[in-house]
Amino acid sequence: MFMSQLYSPTLRETPSEAEIISHKLMLRAGLMRRSAAGMYAFLPLGLRVIRKVEQIIREEMNAIAGQEVLMPMIQPAELWEESGRWKDYGDEMFRLKDRQGRQFCLGPTHEEIVTALVRSEVRSYRQLPLRLYQIQNKYRDEMRPRFGLMRGREFIMKDMYSFDRDQETLDESYWAAYHAYKRIFSRCGLDAHPVEADSGAIGGDVTHEFMVLAESGEDLVLFCEACEYAANAERAEGVRVPVEAGETPLKTLETVATPDASTIEQISRFLGVEPKDCIKTLLYVADGKPVAALVRGDHELNEIKLKKFLQCDELELADDETIFKVTNAKTGFAGPVGLSIPLYADYAIEHMVNAVIGANQDDHHTINVNLNRDFQVTEFADLKQTQPGDPCPRCSGVLEGARGIEVGQVFKLGTKYSDAMGATFLNENGKETPLVMGCYGIGVGRTVAAVIEKNYDEDGIIWPLAIAPYHVIIVPVSMKDEAQATAAERLYQELQSQGVEVILDDRDERPGVKFKDADLIGFPIRVTIGAKSLTNGQMEITLRKTKEKQSLPIEDIVPTIMNLLKDGVEK
């Protein structure tokens, strides 16, 4: 490819729409352009990178007996009604109607379509296991599309679905995908850590996310240095510490006026106590019924945990009206004493003595509140958001935190979809049995963005060889100099004939401009051809990552490049 013909408009300035480095660099290097919020057009270089990542994924999916298919992106509402997700998916789903008024959506994921696809064909255990995957655009009307490819509304995903006869063989599919994911990310030059995660709207119970640790990551990962434990913070388990008989004498219950102090911060300042001495009483409506959740004042409630614990379909914070009905007070003054709704408390509440709570009375709080003496809890549970510094749930270590980018996730779905949609097969004993499913996603664009987040410097992107848009760029200092132009073209031909992906910067530009573009786009190897070195029979090789330069006799250039490519460049 000749640079003069390549459609790769580079930018010197950073477009104001971009906040994080990968987004900035993908725009500046001319890899993509935005067409609407969360929707991007890939330009030739960007698409080459995307295709390379897809190819790595394809090879690794094929290696675990995955078979590639391509399912429709437009999906009929009926299938989603069968699974119950037409309603559950909510506003994140792009919905549309055809001319007859039938409802469809733009596929945010494909569990329903793939289950419908196999239920009519898979009849016998002999047809299992079956692993089908596709690489395709997905559509999610994200609340906050941002960070370029990180959180788009249209994005490319590889999604695989496995169908097995029982839990044991599902295990095999799951771990095969898990290890394939490790290989995929490592081949893309990424260190992606599998962490325990929450299954969210997809369902199922065992799931791992693959996290690339980076400052720009939207997730918080908690991990233990002393053991292997690592989990998404929204999933990380809290530890129930046994309660020991305390020394602190229980004081007398007292209700005090606390005008205008309704938040934990205000109340602790007003009463001169620590937030950890207050109990936060949060009122929720779970499937239409009010419940109270108690967490320590310096802790956050984890709604995912609460919802799972209550096993409810809908969970919402109670509105002012409901709060008034339940507590007889305005919002901000709820407390557990005297409430007649179920009270669920986080384990940390068990250890509190002489605590501060809302008095269920406008502008009042109650102090010196004690569990059992003053109120009873319906049930204790792990409800708080786990934080860095909390104890490890597996060993005696302490959890540390780091930001992470979720590039992939693997799920054991079990029979959630096959039960709901009647996808069964006849087992060895001729018994009709639901298919046992797993699903496995990788965000292709997000993976590319994550690679850039981890591989750049002040001059631009530093592509790992495996996914670089081209391996080598040849930069003649002046194309007007016939000797340079001829030498450049000869080298270009020779590298091409060896199968090297090479670009010749044949533009009539100043060398500085060409070098800047080469660094910005991030080709792993640059060959510079200058008048002076050429008269000495030499050319110069520069490695993008280390900036290491080497002048070599012309005849050594091709073999050196071939060696660098064989070794994976880096250096």
Query: Of ligand ATP, Mg ion, none, which one does residue 499 interact with (CB within 5 to 8 Å by kind)?
Result: none
Instruction: Say how many residues touch ligand ATP, by CB under 6 A.
Output: 17
268 sits near Mg ion (criterion: CB under 5 A): no
Residue written as token pair 């060889």: 465
Selection from ligand ATP, Mg ion, none that 412 binds (CB < 5 to 8 A by kind) is none
CB of 50 to ligand ATP, least distance (A): 12
How many residues appear in the chain?
A: 571
Nearer to Mg ion, 308 or 526 (CB): 308
Q: How far is the CB of 449 from ligand ATP (least distance, A)?
A: 8
User: Do residues 524 and 451 touch, judged by C-beta distance below 8 A?
Assistant: no
- Partner whose binding site includes residue 363, from ligand ATP, Mg ion, none (CB under 5 to 8 Å by kind): none
- Listed in sequence order, the residues at least 6 apart from 492 whose beta carbon sits closer than 8 Å to its beta carbon are 474, 502, 504
Which residue in the set 142, 300, 374, 459 belongs to the binding site for ligand ATP (CB under 6 A)? 142
Q: How far is the CB of 334 from ligand ATP (least distance, A)?
A: 31
Report the distance separating Cα 63 and Cα 180, nearest Å: 8
x/- contact string, 402-431, with ligand ATP (CB under 6 A)?
A: ----xxxx----------------------
- Does 155 contact ligand ATP by CB under 6 A? yes
- Please give the Cα distance from 190 to 512 (Å, whole number): 31
d(CA 487, CA 477): 12
Residues between 374 and 413 with contacts to Mg ion, criterion CB under 5 A: 409
For position 336 contacting ligand ATP by CB under 6 A, the verdict is: no
Residues near 100 by Cβ (< 8 Å), separated by ≥ 6? none
DSSP three-state, residue 92: helix
Residue nearest to ligand ATP (CB): 443
d(CA 453, CA 300): 30
Residue 142 interacts with which of ligand ATP, Mg ion, none, CB < 5 to 8 Å by class: ligand ATP
Is 128 within 8 Å of 164 (Cβ atoms)? yes
Q: Which of residues 188-207 bind ligand ATP (CB under 6 A)?
A: 200
DSSP assignment of 392-422 equals: PSSSS-BEEEEEEEEEEEEEEEETHHHHHHT
Which of 129, 441, 460, 530 touches ligand ATP (CB under 6 A)?
A: 441
Q: Which 527-566 residues touch ligand ATP, going by CB under 6 A?
A: none
Which of 210, 211, 199, 234 is CA-nearest to residue 413? 199
- Token output for 126: 């002999």
In this structure, the number of other CB atoms found within 10 A of the CB of residue 161 comes to: 30
What is the CB-side half-sphere exposure of residue 237 using CA atoms within 13 A? 12
Work out what residue 164 binds among Mg ion, ligand ATP, none; the CB cut-off runs from 5 to 8 Å by kind.
none
How far apart, in whole angstroms, are the C-alpha atoms of residue 457 and residue 544? 10
Alpha-carbon distance of 306 to 293, in angstroms, equals 8
Residue 140 touches which member of ligand ATP, Mg ion, none, C-beta under 5-8 Å by kind: ligand ATP
| 443 part of the interface to ligand ATP, by CB under 6 A | yes
Angle separating helix axes 482-497 and 554-567, nearest 10 degrees: 40
Query: Out of 23, 28, 140, 412, which residue is the one contacting ligand ATP (CB under 6 A)?
Result: 140
The verdict on 199 binding Mg ion (CB under 5 A) reads: no
Figure out which of the listed residues 3, 79, 157, 371 binds ligand ATP, where binding follows CB under 6 A. 157
Sheet arrangement for strand 343-346: 315-317, 279-286, 289-296, 343-346, 379-381
Which listed option, Mg ion, ligand ATP, none, makes contact with residue 155 (CB within 5 to 8 Å by class)? Answer: ligand ATP
Q: Is 152 in the site for ligand ATP (CB under 6 A)?
A: yes
Helix (H) or strand (E) holding 554: helix 554-567
CB of 262 to Mg ion, least distance (A): 36
Find the binder of ligand ATP among 52, 151, 208, 280 (CB under 6 A).
Answer: 151
Interface with ligand ATP, residue 85, by CB under 6 A = no
Binding site for Mg ion (CB under 5 A): 409
Binding site for ligand ATP (CB under 6 A): 109, 140, 142, 151-152, 155, 157, 200, 406-409, 441-443, 445-446
